């Protein structure tokens, strides 16, 4: 079974159509409540933690993630879990427990706005522009990936796919702003899960459960090594399928890449900022961490199953690329009906990714570029209108950046390269700014500029100029991110030593030891304690890592 | 789909009247959007019903396709249950009441912290 074109019928399309109608209905209903710009950009800071928490994880559950992790499951085996238990959960817990009090407590509306308060306008402008640019490039990747899948599964042309998806996302975000993006993300979360669980269950059933699957994996090209998370990662004696040492995994993946993505990517942090109080804001990434712990069960297992049941998976020819692991299984196992749910889940996850990027983009362009620097002191309604116009413009530009993405054969690697340029330097600046009161406004700006330049030079030097060579594209993005982080940190510290710090009283609510206290909050129940949630998530992650060692 | 719209409208009216009664602040008003639990519940009950009915009429060939797991039926039932749970949650603890309660609690807390000073 190597056919990827799905055997869809009327029923499957009806299920997909119902979903679109509900999604658009959410947009129209949300529109009735948009009265101020805070409503539009931060849902009026009113959402309960379970909603923002699921939206937080769902914003990351784009289809590049799902198809990519399925592909990694088939290519690297169980070691893919490192992307979750080492590469995501610790950073999410850190965001919730350590960084959220400053983000939420200082009442900023966006990640760049924190830089304006903590450092200066120059670092604010620099970061707002690079963020807007990075986000719109990433939105393009998601759009293009969606179009690829639609072509593969349904035979739609690439352009039809891009335009249909863009129009639907555009309608519901333009109407309802962040509220409808977040509500739809939560809805998407459940549909995506409902789509993936049956594939794992059927796959495991067909191969005789986990033990049957492991026996068969040992006979594939992955072999025994495909069944372990961290075995064979000792430096000098690397035998695991990813080909990385534990040092690379823990510091590269687990620290630099993951912390910079989860803690400074506004598309994620925005979900937590829209929570109704500090406690809910803190719990947003922590509640998100629990589903994240178990998502590998429904992405990695299908990848492993596909490796066993699809002969020659991973060959370069035609439809057998690793990226098609999950679509191939859908076609092999799912009857009409369930197939419609799975198709809807994939479409939903693509729209989740695009919507997260676009809603973060319109917030940053409106509240961080237009409002402070271009059109000040206009009535609030003016900014809501600007937000809507920016959404439309952003979507049109994203269609353009989708065409840039179409020039890359491996989208996951292109995405990682973008993260290394746009996110990694930011994390160094944030962590120093939050924990070192002395670090100066000038240092914030020059650190960011130097870090971003370092990642950019690494990328250009590898990709076009031929100054550096790395093992693979993925290896380049790891080194690029590392260089950005280190150089940003060195420049920030060096410039601080020669420039004048901000007066300490201006740093209230922004730095470690001076967090604002939320006085209006009621006393949280014991099960709402962020510490309890955070350490439980870390504990479960550690236990799971040891089980699959 | 007119049914969905009607339900949404009804929800909106209900939350709006709940707002009017307590005259809550801007934040509470925005929180009232409309209850996501009912939307998730409604969608999953509908999907569950469609799959369960499809599942009941599945041919043996379709069951064999999914390695002998009667997936439409089982997934349909599971989705019905999930949707049902969301609806029960939404109807036993309506949004309007919860919001009023949350507001009372935060006002009490504000009064308390004010008194401490």
Closest partner residue to A198 (CB to CB) among B43, B58, B71 is B71
DSSP letters of A188-237?
HHHHHHHHHHHHHHHHHHHTTHHHHHHHHHHTSSSGGGGG-SSTT-STT-
Tell me what ipTM this predicted complex has: 0.83
Q: Angle A80-A81-A84 (CA atoms, 0-180°, nearest 5)?
A: 115
* A17-26, A441-450, A468-477: least confident range: A468-477
Is B33 within 8 Å of chain A by CB? yes
Is B103 within 8 Å of chain A by CB? no
Contact assignment for B40 to A186 by CB distance below 8 Å = yes
Average pLDDT in chain A: 82
Is B36 within 8 Å of chain A by CB? yes
Residues of chain B in contact with residue A520, where contact means CB-CB under 8 angstroms, are 106, 109-110, 113
**pLDDT (mean) for A113-119:** 90
pTM of the complete model = 0.83
Q: Angle A403-A455-A92 (CA atoms, 0-180°, nearest 5)?
A: 85
Residues of chain B in contact with residue A35, where contact means CB-CB under 8 angstroms, are 26, 29-30
Residues of chain A in contact with residue B28, where contact means CB-CB under 8 angstroms, are 46
* A222 vs A451, higher pLDDT: A451
Test mutation, B2, B6, B74, B75, chain A, max A CBs within 10 A: B75
Total beta-carbon pairs less than 8 A apart between chain A and chain B = 140
Banded pLDDT at B32 (limits 50, 70, 90): very low
Nearest residue of A to residue B59, measured between CA atoms: A335
With CA atoms as reference, report the closest residue to A70 among A218, A195, A230: A195
Query: Rounded to an integer, what distance in angstroms lies between the CA atom of residue B89 and that of residue B35?
Result: 11
In order of A124, A152, B66, the CA distances from A7 in angstroms are 51, 12, 14
Contact assignment for B43 to A44 by CB distance below 8 Å = no
Banded pLDDT at B97 (limits 50, 70, 90): low
Contact assignment for A202 to B34 by CB distance below 8 Å = no
Contact assignment for A29 to B50 by CB distance below 8 Å = no
CA distance A12 to chain B (A): 10
Q: Are A390 and A37 in contact (CB under 8 A)?
A: no
Contact assignment for A194 to B65 by CB distance below 8 Å = no
pLDDT at residue B8 greater than cutoff 50: no
> What tokens does A397 get?
């530009």
Residue A208 has a CB neighbour count (10 Å cut-off) of: 12
Provide the chain B residues 71-90 that lie in CB contact (below 8 A) with chain A. Answer: 71-72, 75-76, 79, 82
Contact assignment for A46 to B4 by CB distance below 8 Å = no
Contacts of A224 (CB under 8 A, 6+ apart): A218
With CA atoms as reference, report the closest residue to A291 among A60, A70, A73, A74: A60
pLDDT in tens, A142-187: 888 888 778 878 888 888 888 887 888 888 777 777 777 777 888 8
Query: Rounded to an integer, what distance in angstroms lies between the CA atom of residue A70 and that of residue A425?
Result: 29
pLDDT at residue A448 greater than cutoff 90: yes
Is A202 within 8 Å of chain B by CB? yes
With CA atoms as reference, report the closest residue to A388 among A156, A98, A180: A180
Query: Rounded to an integer, what distance in angstroms lies between the CA atom of residue A158 and that of residue A164?
Result: 10
pLDDT in the model for residue A49:
83
């Amino acid at each position: 079974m190597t056919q990827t074109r799905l055997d869809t019928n009327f029923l499957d399309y009806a299920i997909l159509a119902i979903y679109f109608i509900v999604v658009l209905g959410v947009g129209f209903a949300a529109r009735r409540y948009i009265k101020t710009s805070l409503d539009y950009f931060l849902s009026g800071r009113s959402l309960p933690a379970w909603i923002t928490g699921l939206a937080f994880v769902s914003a990351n559950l784009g289809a590049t993630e799902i198809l990519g992790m399925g592909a990694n499951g088939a290519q690297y085996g169980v070691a893919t879990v490192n992307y979750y238990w080492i590469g995501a959960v610790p950073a999410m817990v850190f965001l919730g427990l350590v960084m959220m009090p400053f983000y939420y407590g200082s009442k900023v509306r966006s990640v760049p706005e924190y830089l304006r308060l903590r450092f200066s306008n120059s670092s604010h402008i620099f970061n707002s522009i690079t963020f807007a640019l990075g986000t719109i490039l990433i939105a393009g990747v998601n759009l293009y990936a969606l179009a690829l899948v639609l072509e593969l599964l349904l035979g739609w042309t690439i352009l039809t796919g891009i335009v249909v998806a863009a129009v639907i996302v555009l309608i519901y975000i333009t109407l309802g702003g962040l509220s409808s993006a977040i509500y739809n993300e939560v809805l998407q979360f459940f549909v995506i899960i409902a789509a993936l669980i049956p594939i794992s269950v059927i796959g495991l059933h067909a191969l005789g459960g986990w033990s049957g699957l492991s026996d068969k994996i040992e006979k594939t090209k992955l072999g025994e090594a495909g069944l372990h998370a961290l075995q064979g990662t000792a430096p000098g004696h690397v035998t695991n399928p990813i080909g990385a040492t534990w040092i690379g995994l823990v510091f590269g993946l687990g620290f630099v890449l993951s912390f910079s993505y989860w803690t400074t990517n506004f598309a994620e942090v925005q979900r937590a900022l829209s929570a109704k109080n500090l406690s809910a804001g803190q719990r947003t990434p922590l509640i998100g961490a629990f589903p994240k712990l178990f998502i590998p069960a429904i992405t990695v297992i299908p990848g492993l199953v596909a490796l066993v049941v699809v002969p020659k998976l991973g060959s370069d020819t035609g439809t057998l690329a690793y990226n098609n692991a999950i679509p191939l299984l859908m076609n092999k196992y799912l009857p009409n009906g369930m197939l419609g749910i799975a198709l809807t889940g994939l479409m939903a996850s693509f729209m989740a990714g695009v919507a997260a990027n676009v809603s973060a983009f319109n917030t940053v362009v409106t509240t961080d570029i237009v409002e402070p620097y271009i059109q000040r002191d206009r009535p609030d309604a003016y900014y809501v209108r600007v937000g809507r116009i920016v959404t439309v413009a952003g979507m049109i530009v994203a269609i353009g950046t989708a065409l840039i993405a179409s020039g890359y054969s491996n989208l996951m690697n292109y995405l990682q390269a973008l993260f290394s340029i746009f996110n990694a330097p930011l994390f160094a600046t944030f962590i120093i700014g939050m924990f070192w009161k002395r670090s100066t406004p000038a240092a914030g700006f020059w650190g960011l500029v130097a870090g971003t330049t370092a990642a950019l030079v690494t990328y250009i030097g590898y990709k076009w100029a031929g100054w550096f060579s790395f093992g693979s594209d993925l290896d380049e993005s790891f080194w690029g991110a590392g260089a950005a982080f280190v150089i940003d940190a060195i420049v920030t510290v060096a410039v601080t030593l020669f420039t004048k710090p901000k007066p300490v009283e201006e740093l209230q609510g922004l730095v470690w030891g001076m967090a604002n206290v939320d006085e209006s909050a009621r006393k949280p129940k014991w099960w709402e304690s962020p510490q309890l949630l955070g350490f439980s998530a870390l504990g479960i992650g550690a236990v799971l890592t040891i089980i699959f060692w | 789909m007119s049914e969905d719209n009607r339900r949404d409208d009804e929800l909106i009216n209900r939350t709006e009247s709940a707002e009017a009664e307590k005259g809550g602040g801007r934040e509470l008003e925005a929180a009232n959007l409309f209850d996501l639990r009912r939307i998730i519940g409604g969608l999953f009950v509908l999907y569950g019903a469609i799959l369960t009915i499809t599942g009941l009429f599945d041919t043996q060939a379709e069951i064999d396709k999914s390695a002998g797991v009667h997936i439409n039926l089982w997934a349909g039932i599971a989705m019905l249950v999930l949707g049902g749970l969301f609806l029960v949650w939404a109807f036993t603890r309506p949004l309007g009441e919860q919001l009023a309660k949350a507001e009372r609690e935060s006002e009490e807390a504000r009064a308390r912290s004010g008194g401490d000073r």
